[in-house]
Amino acid sequence: MNEIVGSQFTISPDHPALAGHFPGRPVVPGVLLLEAALAAVPTGDNWVLQSIPAAKFLHPVLPGQVIQLRIELLAEPAPRIRARFHGTCNAHVAFEGSFLFSTAGTVT
């Protein structure tokens, strides 16, 4: 299984997490970027997120900026699937990493 998925997203300037991150100069928190990347992974019905083995935040993302997201699904030794992701904004890689999934009932 090698599948590549592309999408895009924007974090609204009105998002409640931005109020304290950071006052006067809001920056999108990494957890929101990870949440958006996770939501874009085309998971199967029985997939369970096992871990986030890698996550790097390389360039600040500001509210309202469009993020281009690329996700690559890779087969791991059964019953695992890895989803590598990277998000770009204004020609900069803003964040990258991977998620590791297992099928339901086989979490180790």
What integer pLDDT is reported at residue 104 of this predicted model?
65
**At 105, is the pLDDT very low, low, confident or very high (cuts 50, 70, 90)?**
low
pLDDT in tens, 4-19: 999 999 999 999 988 8
Q: Which domain holds residue 89?
A: 2-103
What integer pLDDT is reported at residue 96 of this predicted model?
98
What integer pLDDT is reported at residue 86 of this predicted model?
96
Ranking 39-48, 78-87, 89-98 by mean pLDDT, the lowest is 39-48
What integer pLDDT is reported at residue 22 of this predicted model?
83
Look up 21 and say whether it is catalytic: yes
Domain holding 79: CATH number?
Answer: 3.10.129.10
List 21, 59, 86, 92, catalytic entry: 21
Domain count, the chain: 1
Does residue 108 belong to any structural domain of this protein? no
pLDDT in tens, 29-75: 999 999 999 999 988 778 999 999 999 999 999 999 999 999 999 98
The pTM score is 0.89
Is residue 102 within 8 Å of residue 108, measured between CB atoms?
Answer: yes
Separation in Å, CA 91 to CA 9, 59, 65, 87, 94: 15, 10, 12, 10, 9
Does residue 97 belong to any structural domain of this protein? yes
Does residue 59 belong to any structural domain of this protein? yes
What integer pLDDT is reported at residue 83 of this predicted model?
95
Does residue 93 belong to any structural domain of this protein? yes
